[in-house]
């Protein structure tokens, strides 16, 4: 389809909202993307017309719900080019997905093993591994970042060894927008026999990803970053690897046979989907994937790059404003501070003008410690944003700076 941002914005009811008397300008897409009406309607349609629990039901409502639920699994498998449908595990989101993997390796590693995390990670890709390592005594190593916020790959190549069993890196930094060289990281890790988990929470909304081409072992993403609802996401894992690790949760759906002496687990993907899932959320996730594919990820990436370049050039004109992670290979995220002004104060003033930005550490305290700052103002752009909104942001930052200086 032809990319027309004016028409696309009509699909998002919330963009009509006014904040403090001003038209909402939503620049917090890295936290949660906004939701088009077709996705919202799909949730209402489920509850209005075929609300029922899935799998094992012989009645019509259950069969319809199951068909739609499993249809979303197929859509995600196709979109990300997984080899098998059962490699897509539905979860509550990226954090849940990472915890499934860290728990799965809890009893497979010991004090002779090492794991490597990048210095750019969200807390959700640090803390689960620390919890695991505390129990099995695996050694956690960190890939450092340079003054621009990019990973030091030479250091990674020195850190990795035959003792390394797992490497976990985000595809895109949620704080800086930097796109990490995961292809090279995966290649190097595999040369040492290490497995790789990629946190794709911040990448999946911006460009197409091909699991088989990447040869990635585990990959995670969340629906609410992809125009879908909150509380749902997925874990991709190579089939042979998922079959080797224990489930994170026990209960209904994930079993084959249960006796008081022993329980055997269901086949993939159900082995990791204990309990009643977020059925309407999973169905809506599939609708969101369809919606974004209709717009076209090439169109999305091209337009967001144009927005990023324009916003960068505008903000750099503001005296005392420093952008962190100002590198070439990045998505449409700008983290900045203004000399002498706390980021929270800037965010509060921008809200008075109807502009939603994120302030703070963005669940990446190690990055803030690296730059020796308390936090940043993060502007995260999406294909629903406009150049005119960036102009309004620029003027509002100038006013905030004048008020707070």
List the catalytic residues: 363
Instruction: Name, in order, each residue with C-beta under 8 angstroms of 166's C-beta and a sequence gap of 6 or more.
Output: 105, 109, 115, 116, 129, 194, 195, 196, 197
Distance from first CA to last CA of the chain, Å, rounded? 47
The full 3-state SS of the chain, as one line of letters, equals: CCCCHHHHHCCCHHHHCEECCEECEECECCCCCCCCHHHHHHHHHHHHHHCCCCCCCCCHHHHHHHHHHHHHHHHHHHHHCCCCHHHEEEECCHHHHHHHHHHHCCCCCCCCCEEEEECCCCHHHCHHHHHHHHHHCCEEEEECECCCCCECHHHHHHHCCCCEEEEEEECECCCCCEECCHHHHHHHHHHCCCEEEEECCCCCCCCCCCHHHHCCCEEEEEHHHCCCCCCCEEEEECHHHHCCCCCCCCCCCCEEEECCCCEEECCCCHHHCCCCCCHHHHHHHHHHHHHHHHHCHHHHHHHHHHHHHHHHHHHCCCCCEEEECCCCCECCEEEEEECCECHHHHHHHHHHCCEECEEECCCCHHHHHHHCCCCEEEEECCCCCCHHHHHHHHHHHHHHHHHHC
């Amino acid at each position: 389809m032809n990319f027309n941002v004016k028409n696309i914005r009509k699909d998002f009811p919330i963009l009509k909202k006014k904040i403090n008397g001003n038209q909402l300008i939503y620049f917090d897409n890295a936290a949660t993307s906004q939701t088009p009406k077709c996705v919202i309607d799909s949730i209402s349609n489920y509850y209005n017309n075929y609300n029922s629990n899935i799998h094992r039901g012989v009645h019509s409502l259950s069969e319809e719900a199951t068909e739609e639920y499993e249809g979303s699994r197929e859509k995600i498998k196709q979109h990300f080019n997984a080899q098998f449908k059962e490699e897509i595990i539905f979860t509550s989101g990226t954090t849940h997905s990472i915890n499934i993997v860290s728990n799965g390796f809890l009893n497979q590693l010991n004090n002779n093993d090492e794991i490597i995390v990048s210095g750019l990670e969200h807390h959700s890709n640090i803390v689960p591994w620390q919890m695991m390592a505390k129990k099995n005594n695996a050694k956690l190593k960190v890939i450092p970042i340079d003054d621009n916020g990019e990973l030091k790959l030479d250091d990674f190549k020195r850190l990795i060894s035959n003792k390394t069993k797992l490497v976990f890196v985000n595809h895109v930094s949620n704080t800086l927008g930097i796109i990490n060289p995961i292809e090279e990281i995966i290649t190097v890790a595999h040369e040492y026999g290490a497995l790789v988990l990629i946190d794709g929470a911040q990448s999946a909304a911006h460009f197409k990803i091909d699991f088989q081409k990447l040869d990635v072992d585990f990959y995670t993403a969340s629906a609410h970053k992809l125009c879908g609802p909150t509380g749902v996401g997925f874990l991709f894992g190579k089939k042979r690897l998922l079959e080797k690790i224990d489930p994170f949760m026990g209960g209904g759906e994930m079993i084959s046979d249960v006796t008081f002496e022993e329980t055997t687990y269901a086949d993939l993907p159900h082995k990791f989907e204990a309990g009643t899932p977020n059925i309407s959320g999973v169905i809506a996730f599939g609708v969101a994937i369809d919606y974004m594919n209709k717009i076209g990820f090439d169109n999305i990436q091209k337009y967001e790059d144009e927005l990023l370049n324009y916003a960068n050039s505008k903000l750099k004109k503001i005296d005392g404003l420093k952008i962190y992670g100002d590198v070439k290979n990045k998505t449409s995220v700008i983290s900045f501070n203004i000399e002498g002004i706390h980021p929270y104060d800037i965010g509060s003033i921008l809200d008075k003008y109807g502009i939603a930005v994120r302030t703070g550490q963005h669940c990446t305290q190690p990055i803030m410690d690296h730059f020796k700052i308390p936090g940043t103002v993060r502007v995260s752009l999406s294909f629903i944003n406009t150049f005119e909104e960036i102009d309004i942001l620029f003027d509002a930052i100038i006013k905030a700076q004048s008020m707070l200086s």
